[in-house]
């Protein structure tokens, strides 16, 4: 579907270009981070001042630029990515794939859409259940990606999922499965419809020993009235469900709830109605309509998910992973109560904000991303504790205004650069003074010894400059702005 047919008003490049440069950075960051992406500062500024930023991102999502054969080979390289028979390798590979893909293209989009869907109540593989298993994560996710690659619409793709073992591993009896499909996809909470659905599914069950879906020959023969028509068998039930208007309304509302967590019920209903009036037939039609909308890009203010912040920072900071990066990231998501594909009902809270969950979130971003840097031999290996973090080019002289004989002006530019890169604003006067007082001599004519910007090691590492960057990024890790998508007024 062309974006010109969308019912939800889209943000145009013309309106985007009229925003201040600071607000353009905020909007661009919201769009890119929502897609688990980001650019280094100079690359981002080139794009947002090009006059066609939104159009170029949208156009790129329909092109094929990533070499997926290379990506798949890369994330299965046991010397660079850890795999173990007792670990959740399926989720680790899914998380690593976003890192390994270099471009925002159609491959990236399809993987991102599949990831979003598997975080929701609609498609969660729910590996926390005894009847579900780690490989179910890949099965559900991969089929969604392959369906999109083959231009399969959201109705048929969902029908295939509903009639498969992965769906029945979550909801294992005819009554339970029928009820949940009605409630999840059509918001039908009418108890009178549940026995009808269960009757059509009377010969469907999950074998308790093998966790395998079995469809018996004792098929129902009595028509049941559902969806404004008659359904008799389980296949009839699922087919008419996805054909119904309620399916589109319900599926869209689930995704609206997922992205507009700060909006009230009336606002969400209005957004849902606008999208539904455009008659979307693919998951991309729904999700791109949300992402590029004025309502989302300008008016939404919510906490970023851990994935949105993690991938954005790793791209911006030109971050190098090590062998255990995605094992540790997955473990951290579990600690944050943001585990990928784990929960029976999906992520009921996009980003849990209880004290313990958010403490784990902050700890991971601070200690594993912002305060880690790699240089020299560490850039060539993947199995050492000091072989991951942002690379030295983040601090190269061409990234800010380095003036050899003017430490104060250099620090002004350097600190401002890091603030704009991460939270899209300049430091306040008080913030700048705090850093200068700590990093410069009293007369401000020279650096304190551990912040000497002039010193570069023989291997090209900025050991003293790195100290300054770590101090600034440590401070930024404590600011709410880092974790928030901001409204643009």
pLDDT at 69: 98
| In-domain check, residue 420 | yes
Phi/psi for 9 (5° steps) reads -60, 130
pLDDT tens for 9-20 read 999 999 999 999
Indicate the DSSP class of residue 389: E
* Core vs surface per residue 456-470: b (16+ CB within 10 A) or e: beeeebbebbbbbbb
Q: Residues with Cβ < 8 Å from 296, sequence gap 6 or more?
A: 30, 34, 259, 260, 290
Whether 458 shows a pLDDT value over 90: the answer reads: no
Indicate the DSSP class of residue 377: G
pLDDT at 410: 97
Average the pLDDT over 117-146 and give the result. 95
Three-state DSSP class for 2?
coil
| In-domain check, residue 403 | yes
- Pick the closest to residue 457 from 400, 386, 402, 395 (CA basis): 395
Name the burial class of residue 354, with classes exposed (0-12), middle (13-18) and buried (19+) by CB atoms within 10 angstroms of its CB. Answer: exposed
pLDDT tens for 260-276 read 999 999 999 999 999 99
Average the pLDDT over 278-287 and give the result. 98
| In-domain check, residue 439 | yes
Confidence of residue 1 (pLDDT cuts 50, 70, 90): confident
Average the pLDDT over 378-382 and give the result. 92
C-alpha triplet 438, 385, 450: angle, nearest 5°: 20
Domain count, the chain: 1
Show the tokens assigned to 110.
């399809």
Confidence of residue 82 (pLDDT cuts 50, 70, 90): very high
Confidence of residue 390 (pLDDT cuts 50, 70, 90): very high
Residue with tokens 């960057």, as numbered in its chain? 469
- Pick the closest to residue 382 from 82, 30, 8, 43 (CA basis): 82
Whether 477 shows a pLDDT value over 90: the answer reads: yes
pLDDT at 453: 94
> Are 312 and 82 a contacting pair, CB within 8 Å?
no
User: Domain residues for 431?
Assistant: 391-485
> Are 315 and 98 a contacting pair, CB within 8 Å?
no
> Are 61 and 289 a contacting pair, CB within 8 Å?
no
| In-domain check, residue 8 | no
Answer with the residue of higher pLDDT: 455 or 142. 142
| In-domain check, residue 323 | no
Q: Can you spell out the DSSP letters for 188-201?
A: ---TTHHHHHHHHT
Q: Residues with Cβ < 8 Å from 94, sequence gap 6 or more?
A: 111, 115, 137, 138, 141, 340, 341
pLDDT at 449: 92
- Look up the pTM and report it: 0.95
Q: Can you spell out the DSSP letters for 324-376?
A: THHHHHHHHHHHTT--TT--TT--SSSS--SHHHHHHHHHHIIIIIIT-B--G
Q: Can you spell out the DSSP letters for 274-292?
A: HHHTT---SHHHHHHHHHT
Torsion of CA 386, 326, 260, 38, to 10 degrees: 50
d(CA 415, CA 427): 7
| In-domain check, residue 468 | yes
pLDDT at 459: 78
Confidence of residue 395 (pLDDT cuts 50, 70, 90): very high
Show the tokens assigned to 349.
């809270």
- Helix and strand counts by DSSP (H, E) for the chain: 23, 8
- Pick the closest to residue 375 from 477, 438, 451, 469 (CA basis): 469
Average the pLDDT over 217-241 and give the result. 98
| In-domain check, residue 451 | yes
Average the pLDDT over 63-71 and give the result. 98
Helical segments of 187-321, H only: 193-200, 234-243, 245-259, 265-276, 283-291, 294-299, 306-316
Tell me which H or E stretch contains 214: strand 212-215
Show the tokens assigned to 185.
């996809």
| In-domain check, residue 443 | yes
Show the tokens assigned to 376.
């020299």
Average pLDDT, the chain: 96
Whether 210 shows a pLDDT value over 80: the answer reads: no
Q: For residue 218, how far is the Cα from the chain centroid?
A: 44
Phi/psi for 389 (5° steps) reads 135, -175
């Amino acid at each position: 579907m062309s974006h010109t047919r969308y019912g939800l008003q889209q943000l145009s490049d013309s309106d985007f270009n009229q925003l201040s440069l600071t607000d353009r950075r905020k909007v661009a960051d919201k769009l890119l981070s929502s897609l688990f992406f980001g650019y280094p500062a100079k690359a981002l500024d080139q794009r947002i001042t090009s006059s066609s930023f939104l159009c170029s991102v949208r156009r790129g999502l329909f092109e094929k630029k990533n070499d997926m054969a290379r990506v798949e080979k890369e994330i299965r390289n046991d010397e660079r990515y850890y795999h173990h028979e007792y670990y959740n390798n399926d989720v680790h590979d899914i998380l690593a794939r976003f890192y390994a893909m270099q471009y925002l293209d159609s491959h990236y989009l399809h993987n991102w859409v599949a990831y979003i869907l598997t975080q929701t109540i609609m498609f969660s593989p729910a590996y926390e259940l005894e009847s579900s298993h780690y490989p179910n994560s890949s099965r559900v996710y991969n089929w969604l990606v392959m369906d999109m690659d083959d231009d399969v619409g959201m109705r048929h793709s969902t029908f295939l999922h509903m009639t498969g073992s992965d769906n029945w591993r979550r909801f294992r009896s005819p009554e339970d499965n029928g009820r949940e499909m009605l409630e999840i996809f059509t918001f039908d909470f009418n108890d009178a419809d549940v026995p009808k659905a269960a009757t059509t599914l009377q010969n469907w069950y999950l074998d308790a020993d093998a966790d395998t879906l079995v469809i018996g020959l004792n098929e129902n023969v009595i028509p049941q009235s559902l969806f404004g028509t008659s359904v008799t068998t389980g296949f009839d039930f699922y087919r008419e469900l996805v054909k119904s208007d309620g399916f589109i309304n319900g599926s869209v509302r689930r995704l609206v709830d997922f992205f507009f967590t700060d909006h009230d019920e009336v606002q969400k209903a209005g957004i849902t109605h606008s999208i539904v009036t455009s008659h979307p037939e693919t998951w991309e039609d729904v999700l791109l309509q949300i992402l590029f909308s004025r309502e989302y890009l300008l008016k939404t203010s919510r906490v970023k998910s851990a994935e949105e912040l993690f991938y954005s920072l790793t791209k911006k900071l030109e971050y190098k992973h090590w062998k255990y990066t995605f094992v540790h990231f997955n473990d951290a998501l579990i600690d944050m109560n943001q585990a990928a594909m784990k929960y029976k009902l999906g992520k009921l809270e996009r980003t849990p904000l209880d004290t313990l969950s958010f403490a784990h979130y902050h700890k991971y971003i601070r200690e594993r991303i912002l305060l880690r840097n790699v240089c020299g031999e560490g850039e060539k290996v993947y199995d050492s504790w000091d072989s991951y973090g942002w690379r030295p080019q983040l601090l190269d002289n061409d990234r800010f205004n380095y003036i050899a004989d003017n430490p104060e002006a250099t620090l002004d530019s350097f600190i401002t650069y890091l603030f704009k890169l991460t939270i899209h604003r300049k430091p306040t006067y008080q913030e700048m003074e705090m850093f200068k007082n700590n990093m410069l001599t009293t007369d401000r004519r020279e650096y304190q010894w551990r912040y000497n910007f002039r010193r570069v090691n023989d291997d090209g590492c900025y050991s003293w400059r790195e100290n300054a960057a770590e101090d600034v990024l440590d401070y930024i890790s404590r600011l709410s702005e880092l974790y928030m998508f901001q409204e643009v007024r």
